[in-house]
Structure 1
Amino acid sequence: MVNRLDLLLGVIFMATPMLGLSPCSSDGQIALLRNCNLTQIPWVLHTTERLLLSFNYISMVNATSFPFLEQLLLLELGTQFVPMTIGQEAFRNLPNLRILDLGQNQIEVLSPDAFQGLPHLLELRLFSCGLSSAVLRDGYFRNLSSLARLDLSGNQIHSLHLHSSFQGLNSLQSIDFSFNEIFTLCEDELKPLQGKTLSFFGLKSTSLFSRVSVAWETCRNPFRGMWLEMLDLSSNGWTVDITGNFSYIIQDSQVSSLILKHHIMGSGFGFQNIKDPDQNTFAGLARSSVTFLYLSHGYIFSLNSRVFETLKDLQLLNLASNKINKIADNAFYGLDSLQVLNVSCNLLGELYNSNFYGLPKVAYIDLQKNHIGVIQYQTFRFLKNLHTLDLRDNALKTINFIPSIPTVYLGGNKLADLPHIRFMVNFIQLSENRLENLSDLYFLLGLPQLQFLILNQNRLSSCWEVQAPSENLSLEQLFLSENMLQLAWETGLCWDVFRGLSRLQILYLNSNYLNFLPPGVFSGLVSLRLLSLNANRLTTLSPGSLPANLEILDVSRNQLFSPDPGSFASLSVLDIRHNEFVCQCELSPFIIWLNQTNVTLLGSPTDVYCMYPDSLLGVSLYDISTKDCDEEEASQTLKFCLFLLCTVTLTLILVTTLIATKFRGGCFLCYKTIQRLVLRDKVRSSEPSAYRYDAYFCFSSKDFEWAQNALLKHLDAQYSSHNRLRLCFEERDFIPGENHISNIQAAVWSSRKTVCLVSRQFLKDGWCLEAFRYAQSRGLSDLKSVLIVVVVGSLSQYQLMRHETIRGFLQKQQYLRWPEDLQDVGWFLNKLSGHILKEENGEKRNNTIQLQTLTTIS
């Protein structure tokens, strides 16, 4: 037990990073001398515990090479770039050495006494050193009484005839002969190891028994009298016959874990020339007490009846990455102790009720990455001890077969809806499916014992036929990332989806296209500690919109302009990186809070930067000064400007309304006459424009016929050469097959103005409302009016104000109404054209910082 502890400490020494230690230097305990062009062992301090000398040119190590280093525990001397000679008692001045690494050297001369004088050596690494079988036959490892792990993999060893001194290695636990060429192994070769218990014996990729004919009767059991905790026989090209013969020959030896990965057993898909394992293949292991059996990465096509019948002690069976397409009746018969079954990465298409008979104690079944599309109802229901079922990355379309078990993985299937059947589950993973209706989410949240629910990368976007939310006192973590909750919430429905989740602690809503949070949507989450809103489109966080007890908030990669510091009062950790901060005086409270808060802010200061004005683009908020922002003076100036603006606007509106109402027909005729005589009907200047279209006309597809007859035919140049506007609208100019959001975004940003024809159908069309928000977002970005709203039909102010998206616009800007009198249509179209072609006085790019903007710290 002491040796195992020392070995573990040695491994920890190797894994510990050498923080702060520069190459080719020493701090008294660690000497880091890798790749330092050394040709001989250097002098180091006597306090050194780890000496690392790999990747040098040291060719000779003898008894005088090292100074006396009593405290040295680890010596790394591998991968020298020249052939190496190791002389007699080469390491005698290292009496307390625990780990000696000589791997990947070209050892030309190795003295039989090279390792004498190392009574405390725990691990000896001699992998890939070009050593022959003589290193085993001639007693090189005698007197290493503490040796626990010996690595001789990747050499040129052809025979395992061991020297009698191996019998004295009483601490030996692990020995690795992998990647040698050992064609046979018989009883007389390993006699010095009889009576020992080894934790690992490695014979991987040695071509054992697969290249020569073996007389099994005379060869007999090479592991007789040994107890092997793990025997690795992978990648030896074993067929069913070789495996069957080997299992019989070692029937008296105890092997806890038998590894036969990368075998060639099985007919594979479409071939019949190699047999699948049968009832006799593993029969010889009946008395070997095998508890773990690894048969992965092969060609097994059919699991035959009673193939594992004799393995009564087996607890884990790994059949992953074969070609299994068929499970015969009673294939698992006799596995009374099996707890873990892995049949992942195979070719299963259907599962039947009888497939898993004979597994009374199985707790975990892994069936991921098959092609399973159909599962019979009772397939898993008789497995009373089943705890975890993994069916990820299959082709399932229903979950009727799910039993009441604690943990279920169903991600990466084709589930479009869920049957609302009651079952008991603590953890359920449904990521990467096709769920759209939030009624499925309401159903899952109503499962009484559910603690963890993962619904990432679905299509949750519609809200209809939903039930009232149920109280769930168990759910602790809910993952809803990469869905489309915005489309559901913008209809005004499903705002109560989180009601009743009083125990919820973690909620992920990343990448849901959210541009607002429904009022009170988090009000019932009294236990919520972590909320992630990463990668959405939020522009504001209203006071009171976040749970009162929230501790960790992620609102990075949104479009927050001027966050209210009061929203972050309860937080201990905040991630607000990569937002679109407008660095004007309105942001002053947040900048002051940012420099004074005790909240832990994730990321570096350079990740929190200005997006506007252009003169401060990319400047960190930590480098912005607020001393020039006199809030009181700015407030008075703003009030006066607003009063003046309102007065002038009201006067102009009254005068214009009076004239237009009383003399609108005559005024319009006069205007057109003057325009024709003075301007002589000149076409507007055709100087190059930065925009592809003069206007993007957004309207409901149900209004297309009216919009075409009333507007497009009289304005769009493609309808008539007399028209002077280049218009964009969905039915003609959107790219077929392109993402609809991308089409809308391209239309808004490539047009001088956006004209929204707000009708009753417009207010019901989610895509129209999405385009409306994009136009508003562009107006905020460009700081000028690019959105023209035309109200069509008998929509009242109350009906318009009911929609949150429209209400925000109406509270700040004017809109147009389609004229009720036909004599006003010509005037209206002319006015609309003027609004579209009108150039704004304000420019987006302004190199001088105005009074309202902030200045950087010099």
Structure 2
Amino acid sequence: MNTRLLVMCFMAICGQDIMDDQCSYWQDDQCLLHANCSNRGFGFIPALRLPNVVYLDLSTNRIEKIESKSFSSLTNLLELNLSANIISLLEIDAFLGLEHLRILNIRKNFLVYNSISFPNSVFKPLKSLFHLDITSSSVYHSDQNFEEFSIDVISDLKTLESIVIDIISDRFGQSVFGIGFTSLTHLTKLTAGSCNIKFDNATFLNVPYLDWISLKNCTMKSYHGGTLKHRNFTFLSFEGIMHHSIADWQNVVYDFDDNLINTLVLTSSFLLNTFLPDHFYNTLGQTGITHLSLNKNDFIEPEELIFDDPIGYSKTLPLSLRDLDFSNNNLLNFNLIMPELEYLNLENNSLGYFLESEKYSATNTTVLKHINLSFNGIDKLNTSVFHGHPCLEKINLSNNFLTDIHFDISHLKTLKIMDLSNNRIQGFEKRTIEHLNKLFDESNLQFNLSNNIIKCTCDNIQFLQWMVERSVHFSQKNRIKCTYGNETTILLATFTKTLLQLEKECGSYTMLIILMSVALLTVCITVISGLAYRYRWTLRYIYYMTVSKYRRYKPQNTDHNFSYDAFISYADEDKSFIVKECIPILEVQGGMEICIHQRDFLPGEEITNNITNAIHESRKTICIITRSFLDSYYCMFEFNIARMESIYSRGGTNILLLVFYDQLRAQDLPLVMLELVQQDSYLEYPDDEQGNIVFWDKIKEAIAV
């Protein structure tokens, strides 16, 4: 809307027939007219005839002086901005007519605190002035006269409550707060402009009602004890103050002893110190302090450097303290007693390693409501770090290196906000999800997982489904991204349809894995079964020898010393041959010790153990091969165990002797038996008198070898 049209609207609404095209105008919701005449290149105050203008901005022009009666027609003006001009002179009636003016800003001009720039009683018309900013670009001019300035100019501002002024000394060594300030009984707020001074008992002597002081970016040449003693402050700031002596800070702390302080700001004030001044917390404990800012310093520990502190003064916060800001330091540890603290800011420190195993609170139970641990290089937290926090409402762990919630928050029934943004979370473990579900069911907890790298993969499908189901508990949905294996990303806010597709893909993938697993298992079982079958007798032999070792007592044999000369393996159908021929000829006539299963096996012992022991304790094993032998399970068992004995216990020496009692065809014999036959490890029973003599001689010879 152009100027003419806006003024016409103003005429219609407020009944004024006034126009001016030199400035831009606008109205607020109370029908009060604002005039913006800034940055127009004016070298003088333009002749405005808008009596209903209440806010006038003439900043950033080229105005050199304020002539008498420049604003006499603007009787309704409440705020006047003359900053950033080149004003060096105010004529005596410069502000005539501004009886209702509340705020005057003439900062960044070339005014000098003397009777030339500020003639006697120039501020007298300003009977309602509430706030004044007179910081100057000529602050170090040699003609400053603070005593004269305070008596003849400042003393007329009886209603002034807030001032922004340069805090310096003139050539006479006088503070800017001359005797005239004593008449300003409503002046309670001071903001320093340029500030370079020695602080002593006289600095603030003439402004006894101040309870809000900002000395931001002051240069403190020195500080004498007592400068701020016996005062009550709602706000006291030393932010960015420059000083050259640790002793000065100690004097400041000592002054707190008799003060009441609500808010104390010590931001960027200890750039030369890595520890707090002595007795810092103990002294503040007497002030009733509620807010303390110690941010942007170089502290490596939050405590005073006291070597003998049995009571713990150096780590006990004031009982009245509710808000503590220790952000942007170099803290390596933090463990303070915080009896009534509600807000703790530890952002941007180096507490990651410390908090892996320790807690930041030395108090068993706190009333803490907000804790900020962002930007601390945390990849793991002590499980119990938040125990004893029944009132906790907000946890900020953003911009760290966390991958999951391995710390316990299940008891935090009052928790409303958990900020885990900008970490390394790809998903939560099942146990974490179960704990969070309980909290979600009992509270309106809001999670911020924005700017993490959450995986859109099948192995993370349960976490993704859970996030969609519990989406009401996740804030910043438009910044929670899910990343596929091909690096493409989608937002949680539009994730539902994509999740359905992912579930289908993962279902097919799961079936493929199951089929491949079954196939692989089948192959493994087949291979193992084949190997077990091929080496079945080896495995049986090892098993029975192991069982025999632990289940039966046997005399310890030395090499070539056996209990029996031979063990005879035969079928029960051939028992008469054993009784009538083998025993009489080999034992009675030959003097040999023969093991016969019907006679020598140990009663009550498993037959397989008896067989294994008999073969192992006999020099030779003689198998009487008949059709009944081949059909007998235990006969073939004895044959195979004897074969394994030859391989594994006799160093490969054959201990088997096959005696063919029946006439059998080659195709009737097992393959392993044919191999022994081919090695000539067999005899045929002749069943004639002459042949029997030779047969039994060979038997005896084979047993003796």
Q: Same fold (TM over 0.5)?
A: yes
Give the conservation status (yes or no) of the 8 Å contact 1:158–1:182.
yes
Tell me the equivalent position of 1:234.
Answer: 166
Alignment of 1:785-796 (within 5 A): none
2:73 aligned partner, one-letter code = N
2:437 aligned partner, one-letter code = A
Residue 646 to residue 441, structure 1, CA distance change in 2 (3 Å): same
Residue 394 to residue 169, structure 1, CA distance change in 2 (3 Å): same
Distance in 2 between residues matched to 1:215 and 1:587, nearest whole Å? 75
Q: CA deviation at 1:648?
A: 1.3
Residue 127 to residue 609, structure 1, CA distance change in 2 (3 Å): same
Q: Deviations over 1:232-290 (max 9, x none)?
A: 3238x64584543751354444443344422332xxxxxxxxxx24334444445xx34
Q: CA deviation at 1:172?
A: 1.4
Alignment of 1:805-844 (within 5 A): none
Q: Deviations over 1:480-506 (max 9, x none)?
A: xx4131xx7xxxxx6565566555443
Equivalent position to 1:646, from 493, 497, 521: 521
Matched, 1:179 2:108: yes
Distance in 2 between residues matched to 1:502 and 1:123, nearest whole Å? 50
Q: Is the partner of 2:104 in helix, strand or coil?
A: strand
Tell me the equivalent position of 1:524.
Answer: 411
2:37 aligned partner, one-letter code = L
Q: Is the partner of 1:107 in helix, strand or coil?
A: coil
Tell me the equivalent position of 1:153.
Answer: 83
Tell me the equivalent position of 2:589.
Answer: none
Tell me the equivalent position of 1:278.
Answer: 200
Matched, 1:367 2:266: yes
Distance in 2 between residues matched to 1:592 and 1:319, nearest whole Å? 50
1:170 aligned partner, one-letter code = E
| Structure ID, larger Rg | 2
Equivalent position to 2:178, from 247, 272, 281: 247
Q: Is the partner of 1:262 in helix, strand or coil?
A: strand
Alignment of 1:618-629 (within 5 A): 621=495, 624=498, 626=501, 629=504
Alignment of 1:634-713 (within 5 A): 639-653=514-528, 655=530
What is the RMSD computed on CA atoms of the aligned residues?
5.1
Q: Deviations over 1:42-64 (max 9, x none)?
A: 65695x46xxxxxxxxxxxxxxx
Residue 364 to residue 656, structure 1, CA distance change in 2 (3 Å): farther
Distance in 1 between residues matched to 2:502 and 2:242, nearest whole Å? 72
Q: CA deviation at 1:572?
A: 7.2
Q: CA deviation at 1:603?
A: 4.0
Matched, 1:261 2:149: no
Higher deviation after alignment, 148-157 or 500-509: 500-509
Q: Deviations over 1:718-741 (max 9, x none)?
A: xxxxxxxxxxxxxxxxxxxxxxxx
Distance in 2 between residues matched to 1:580 and 1:453, nearest whole Å? 25
Tell me the equivalent position of 1:84.
Answer: none
Give the conservation status (yes or no) of the 8 Å contact 1:233–1:260.
yes
Equivalent position to 2:221, from 292, 296, 301: 301
Distance in 2 between residues matched to 1:213 and 1:240, nearest whole Å? 7
Residue 645 to residue 364, structure 1, CA distance change in 2 (3 Å): same
Q: Deviations over 1:811-830 (max 9, x none)?
A: xxxxxxxxxxxxxxxxxxxx
Paired-residue identity, %: 13
Tell me the equivalent position of 1:474.
Answer: none
Residue 154 to residue 75, structure 1, CA distance change in 2 (3 Å): farther
Give the conservation status (yes or no) of the 8 Å contact 1:585–1:629.
no
Distance in 1 between residues matched to 2:17 and 2:245, nearest whole Å? 54
Runs of at least 5 residues in structure 1 that lack an aligned partner in the other structure: 1-30, 34-40, 50-66, 81-89, 266-275, 329-346, 459-481, 489-493, 552-566, 664-858
Q: CA deviation at 1:216?
A: 5.6
Tell me the equivalent position of 1:212.
Answer: 143
Equivalent position to 1:387, from 259, 284, 290: 290
Equivalent position to 2:48, from 108, 112, 115: 115
Q: Deviations over 1:327-363 (max 9, x none)?
A: 76xxxxxxxxxxxxxxxxxx85xx4897235533133
Q: CA deviation at 1:126?
A: 1.6
Tell me the equivalent position of 1:473.
Answer: none
Tell me the equivalent position of 1:224.
Answer: 155
Alignment of 1:553-564 (within 5 A): none
Alignment of 1:405-554 (within 5 A): 405=319, 406-407=321-322, 408-411=324-327, 416=332, 425-431=341-347, 432-434=349-351, 436=354, 438=356, 440-441=358-359, 444=362, 446-458=364-376, 482-485=377-380, 495=383, 503-510=391-398, 513-515=401-403, 521-534=408-421, 535-542=423-430, 544-551=433-440
Q: How many pairs align?
A: 507
1:257 aligned partner, one-letter code = K
Give the conservation status (yes or no) of the 8 Å contact 2:419–2:447.
no
Equivalent position to 1:105, from 36, 40, 55: 40
Distance in 2 between residues matched to 1:581 and 1:208, nearest whole Å? 61
Residue 196 to residue 42, structure 1, CA distance change in 2 (3 Å): closer
Residue 306 to residue 315, structure 1, CA distance change in 2 (3 Å): same
Matched, 1:356 2:255: yes
Matched, 1:602 2:476: yes
Residue 375 to residue 210, structure 1, CA distance change in 2 (3 Å): same
Distance in 2 between residues matched to 1:628 and 1:279, nearest whole Å? 76
Could you say which structure has the higher helix fraction?
2
2:155 aligned partner, one-letter code = R
Distance in 2 between residues matched to 1:506 and 1:224, nearest whole Å? 49
Q: Is the partner of 2:436 in helix, strand or coil?
A: coil
Q: Is the partner of 1:545 in helix, strand or coil?
A: helix
Residue 318 to residue 69, structure 1, CA distance change in 2 (3 Å): same
Alignment of 1:120-159 (within 5 A): 120-133=52-65, 135-137=66-68, 139-159=69-89
Equivalent position to 2:485, from 591, 612, 616: 612
Q: Is the partner of 1:264 in helix, strand or coil?
A: strand
Give the conservation status (yes or no) of the 8 Å contact 1:122–1:147.
yes
- What is the TM-score normalised by the length of structure 1? 0.49
